[in-house]
Every structure is written in C-alpha cells, then in structure tokens.
Structure 1
C-alpha cells in the first residue's frame, strides 16, 4: 500500500490546479462541493418511468450531437486564447426544464465526461480541474433554472400557455445565463487577477452565441414534450452553427494580432485601403495615425530594448478604448501601430492624436520598470488634403513620425498639413 500511495501522492503534487492562486483553488472547490451537495440532496426525489425515458433520450441526443461535431470541437478548443461555447447548453437546459434535478445533474456529468474523453483530452491548456469546474458550474445553473421553472409552473411545459408563461421561460433562460456567467467571471478574477469589465463580460458575439444555444435548449424541451419525433430538426442548425463558429475563429486568428488583439498588418492594410476608397467615393474626410511606442531604459533609447508583451497588450487596450467603433486600429509590427479614422477633419486631428497619445502613456507608464519609461511618438496625415491613397498617407505620416522621434523622443505629435507649397509639418 505505501508503494501505491507514494507515487500517487507525488503525481498529485504536479497537478495543474496547484499552479493557480490559492483563493481560486478554494473557490473552484466550493463550486464543485456546492454542485455535489445540491445533487445529493435531490437524489431521493421520486422519478417516473417517463423521467427515465426522457433522460435516456436527452443523453442519446447529446452524445450523437457531440459525436457529429467532435472534430470541429477539437479544432475550436485549440484556440485557447478565444472564448469557448461548447453548445451542450442545448441539452442541459432541456434537462433542467423537464427532468428531476438529480437526473439533470447526471445528464451534465455524462455529457462532460464524453466531451473530456472524446474531444478535449490531450488539447493543450485543457486540464481536468477546468472540465470538472465547468461541469459543476453547469450543474448549479441547471439546478437554479429548474427551480425557477418549477416555481413559475413551467416544468413540465404544458400545451395551454400564454404570453406570461413565455416571459417566464425567457426569464429562466436569462437566469441560467446569469448564474453561469457570474461563476465564470469570479473564477477569472481569482485566477488572473484584476480585469476590466469588458474582459469579464467577454465579447458580445460569444454572449449572443451562448444565449442562442440556450434558446435552442428551451425549444428542444418544448419539442420533447409536444412533438418528440420532431426534435431531430435541432441537429442540422446546431451542426451548421458549430461549423460557422469554427470558421469565424479561423478568420479571427488569420486577421488578428495575437499580442494586442488588434488587426494584423495585412488585414489592417487591406481594410484601410477599402476605407480610404470609400471616403474617396463619397467625398468624405479621413485621417491616418502612425504610432510608435519605445521603451527607454535609464532615459536612453537602446536598439535591443524590446517593448514587453504586457506593454503591447496595454497599447492595444488603450487604442480600443479611445477610438470609435468604426475606426480601424492595427499593429504593423514591433511596437508600431496605425489607425484609420474615417470622418475625422484636419482641424481636430491634432487634438485626437494628442488624446490617444496621452491615453497610451497613462496606461503603460505604470507597468514600466523602475529604470524605464514609455515614449510615444505620433505622425498623422489627413485625406484628401495630404494624400489620396493609403500609401500616400502612410508615407507622409511616416515622415512626420520619424521627425517626431528624431526630435529627442519627447512624446511628440506631428501632423502633416497641406500647404500651397506642398506638405508641411505642425
């Protein structure tokens, strides 16, 4: 026995969960314990043969859907830096609405075990403790949603229903989503430390995708009660949605800079050229900013002093916060960034460039080392006064940027202006 316990204990000490903060470990274990406690407390509730049959049907549907999309799911899971919705909510919310609580929890356990062994195991960054936590979070969401459905007399869904009942069903969907998202947000804060509200809420598209999945789950529950054989119509849109999300993730990976989340150089150039062409077609104004961030050690610029990745991420965040929704921001390479600002007039360009420059300085200065500081130089040019193509604007703005940097690296902003004699600087 000691020979068996010894290796097991040694391997346990290398589990990935010990790499996260202690507070996060405690919270994850509390969520796991709460899910087990709630399930155990409801395990002795009476069940009928119909309940057992519906459980078998839902498990079978969930497993078939998971097998249909297994390869797509593995590819999606390899995007470890993107949010992930696994579509199991279609079956878990259905279970919460029509099954006893213990059977709903059992369904979650079966589906997540299948996902782990068939789709997620072996994928880099996917650890067992994360899968257990996710499953327990879903169990709690199901229990809360099922309880609310029973209080509102939505479980099981009957044939004679009105608008008030429909509103109650929408409320149950929202409650499931709220519980699940809140637990995940708390875990993220404890694991990664302080985060912005936008980072905790996640992208709008991902939240809409999860809500769409939950709506499909509610429809699945209604079909199982009213027209059980019609439930097969769920599979085609579910499979199509799965593949559509994978394609979108591929597109995001191909067009986005991994370190900043901004457009990469190729994508920014292509979209920027289209934006300038649109301004030319409709006779509107636009502006271009070239922004260079330097890491100065002991007040001196050094060729081998690279800007840390954390500073690059902060520059990306600062740009997203300061520009408008239709402005185009990208990372051209190294620590050089660019932005096309449609509809920006030349007379306000200086103020806009200075505001963006100051925001970057404010955001990044706190993260600089004790003997280092951040220098932000900006070169700007406007369309159509300075140039009529993106390349002409970039050439003018790049000359202004070089002059700004060559002037002593004092966080300067230089805007190229159209003059009677050609192009002038300011």
Structure 2
C-alpha cells in the first residue's frame, strides 16, 4: 500500500520567467496563447466596471466553488490517471459547474470561479504530472473563461434580463440550449487552433478534433451543467445529487481508457498484436457465415535499422508513428490496422479480394516512398527522413488458408519473397514468383 506522502503531488519548484517552458513552444502558438489570455484579462477587467456584484451573487459563487472543490478533491486520483493516459485533448469535468456560473453569475465572478477551480486542479490533480506545466493550466482556464463569456452572450438573444428573473420557461430552455452549444463550439475552436499551432506537422483530424468519445464526454458534461442551472434556480440543495453521477462517469471513462490502452500499441496507437489477432478471428467467423472474403497486408519497412543507427531511436519512433498515421488514413474505419512489433505492420482489409488488396498495397507502397518525416536526432539536431521503402506481402482468405494464422503465414512468406527480390515490392501469396509492383 502506498503511503499518503507518495500520493500527494510534490511541491513545484519556482523558476525565473525566462526559464518557463512556455518559451520553448512554437512562436505562433505562444502568440496565440498570450493573445487569448490577454483578451480574457481585458474582458474580465472591463466586466468589473460594467457588471454589479450583489450579495446573492457572492453566495452563489461560494456555493458553486464549494461544489467544484469537493468534486475535484473527491475525484483527483481518477482525474490524474485520466490525464496521464490521454493522448487527445483532455476533457475535465469543470463545465458542470462553470456553465451554471456563466448564466447565473456576473462575468467577474465567473472568471474568479475558473481561477479557483483550475488552480485547485493544477495543484491537486495535475500537480505531479511533469507534462502539465503551469502555463497549460493557465491556458485551460483562459479557454474556459472565454467559452463562458460566449455562453452568457449567446443567452442574451433569448432573455430580456437576468435568467433568474425570467418567467418564460421556453426562453430559459432556449438560453440554456444555446449556452451548451456555444460553449462547446468556442472551446473546440480555440483548442483546435492551439493544437494546430503547437504541432502543425502532426495535425491529424483526430488529434485536433478529439475522438467521438472525447466530444461526447464534453457534451455530456455540458448537458449536466445545463440541468444544474435549473436545479440551482429552484432547488439548490438537489445539486448534491450531481456528485454520484459525476463520480461514476469519470470512473467509467477511466475504465474505458485503461481498456483501450491494453488493446493499443503504445508507440503508434495502432492495435497491438494480441488485439489485432482477436479481432481478426471475428472477421474469420463473419466471413464464414456470409461466404465472404478478406485480405491481409503484411508491411515491413526496408532497412529500418539504418534509421535508428544513423539518427537515433527517437527518429525511428517518429518514422513508425508517421507510417501508422499513413496506414490509418489510407484504410477504412472497419479495417484492422495493427503493429506486430519492430518495423512490421499488418492490415486486414474486410471484404477485399486479393486483387483489390494488391492495388491497395501498391498505393500504400508508393505513399511510403513519398513520405516525409520531420524529426530530430537524440542530440536534438533537426533531420528530415525521406525516400523510405517497404516490402509488402498480400494474402487472402480463404484462398491462402482456412485460418487467420495460415493467411498471416502466407502474407509473411510473400514479404520474404519481396525482400529477396530487391525490396520496395508488393507480392501476392497466390503467385509469389510474380512481383506485382516493383520500384519505379
């Protein structure tokens, strides 16, 4: 059992402004981030002079802050693990408290609530995560505040005054729905721009937009926040009932992340060998029931060891990641793409004949030749890896074998023929002496 001391995040070491990791980020990202934060500060300062703060507002602020802090403290270990495992933009659960604040509190208190909640998150939930620098927490808080301001502005199109003084139930409902939509879109747009500017070379749709599950979680949290608005307006004590659903939701998301991690190759994000094989067996069963077919591509990078020996293993990893992303782009959502280890990848093309698979494999072979990978050596020197090739073997079910292992063995044997014949080739298992595609 771990001691309490090991579970608590260590104290941060204060560093000079010039040494902040912020300045190591891409220049355009720094400009954009500092600009959004400057806009946030400017709007908040202006709001202090425009929007009056009543005693009831302070009471509601304190109540929401207490709810948010209790929730964050109760789930901080779950939150820390979720943040550690995430590879796409992390979705935290503060929207369930911040959305009500956006419509029920004046903007200055909205900003203060975000500062309180994100400071607590940064210190307690993320404080011991090395990849979560202070400037990232500030950026997240700024994005939340701007999204809340946009939410409050959108609600004004449906309300003639404060939402708490509005008797029109339809107007309140429309304001809440509009708030949920606008909050989601504004946060998404800011995040997409920031992620693109941070790493434009790795700006894949999934990386920018997040997965379906990520977006569903954010919308779910905002919907709960919308319901919280009605609860706080009429029966604030019922807000206590939100804790258990939120706790279960976070635990279920953590369980899903752990399940996905167990099925994925950690380096490339593709299916690992065990998971690929298990899902491939299901494809065998499906093909048997429907008298169908499928094909397997075994892809082996040529002379991959030279990349590691010349540029270092970090550059080699980037090459593997780039190839994995290429394979995901060039296959369908129901195809199975996996990494079998080292520089060997395997693709199952559902419903594809060997002839169709050979055409797909040759297209992939040509794209690998055209692939450009911007990376760095182990010493940090920028390098560009180009003109890489791959040998690809293709085998189909049921012509190449009656089991998945037999089809894999046939594809692997075809790869061996491709390599023995000069590499940068696609070879079909049906006639291994016929080289379907050769180097141009």
Q: TM-score, normalized by length of structure 1?
A: 0.89
1:389 aligns with 2:408: no
Asked if the contact 2:295/2:396 (under 8 Å) is kept, the reply is yes
Over 3 Å counting, the alpha-carbon distance change for 1:386 and 1:101 in structure 2 is same
- SS class of match (1:319): helix
1:412 aligns with 2:419: no
Cα distance, 1:319 vs structure 2: 0.9
How do 1:200-349 residues align onto structure 2 when only pairs under 5 Å count? 200-295=208-303, 308-349=316-357
- SS class of match (1:151): coil
Partners of 2:64 and 2:374 in 1: CA distance: 52
Q: For each residue in 1:133-174, what CA deviation from the matched residue of structure 2 results, as whole angstroms up to 9, or x when unmatched?
A: 111111111111112213321841645323x75444323212
Structure 2 residue aligned with 1:67:
73
Asked if the contact 1:291/1:401 (under 8 Å) is kept, the reply is yes
Partners of 1:286 and 1:60 in 2: CA distance: 57
Partners of 2:70 and 2:78 in 1: CA distance: 14
- SS class of match (1:258): coil
Structure 1 residue aligned with 2:47:
42
Over 3 Å counting, the alpha-carbon distance change for 1:371 and 1:130 in structure 2 is closer
| Number of residue pairs matched by the alignment | 410
Over 3 Å counting, the alpha-carbon distance change for 1:102 and 1:352 in structure 2 is same
Unpaired runs of at least 5, structure 1: 1-7
Name which of structure 1's ranges 96-105 and 146-155 shifts more when overlaid on structure 2. Answer: 146-155
How do 1:10-29 residues align onto structure 2 when only pairs under 5 Å count? 11-29=16-34
Asked if the contact 2:371/2:387 (under 8 Å) is kept, the reply is no
Asked if the contact 2:295/2:394 (under 8 Å) is kept, the reply is yes
Q: CA-atom RMSD, angstroms?
A: 2.6
Cα distance, 1:295 vs structure 2: 4.0
Q: TM-score, normalized by length of structure 2?
A: 0.86
Over 3 Å counting, the alpha-carbon distance change for 1:197 and 1:38 in structure 2 is same
Q: 1:151 aligns with which of 150, 157, 167?
A: 157
Partners of 2:421 and 2:346 in 1: CA distance: 20
Cα distance, 1:119 vs structure 2: 1.0
Asked if the contact 2:276/2:337 (under 8 Å) is kept, the reply is yes
Asked if the contact 1:417/1:424 (under 8 Å) is kept, the reply is no
Structure 1 residue aligned with 2:379:
none
- SS class of match (2:297): strand
Structure 2 residue aligned with 1:188:
195
Q: For each residue in 1:286-342, what CA deviation from the matched residue of structure 2 results, as whole angstroms up to 9, or x when unmatched?
A: 111101112479xxx799567722221121111111111110000111111001122
Over 3 Å counting, the alpha-carbon distance change for 1:365 and 1:133 in structure 2 is closer
Q: 2:104 aligns with which of 98, 104, 107?
A: 98
Structure 2 residue aligned with 1:5:
none
Cα distance, 1:356 vs structure 2: 2.5
Partners of 2:87 and 2:333 in 1: CA distance: 23
Partners of 2:187 and 2:113 in 1: CA distance: 17
Asked if the contact 1:141/1:180 (under 8 Å) is kept, the reply is yes
Asked if the contact 1:63/1:114 (under 8 Å) is kept, the reply is yes
- SS class of match (2:422): coil
Partners of 1:371 and 1:63 in 2: CA distance: 48
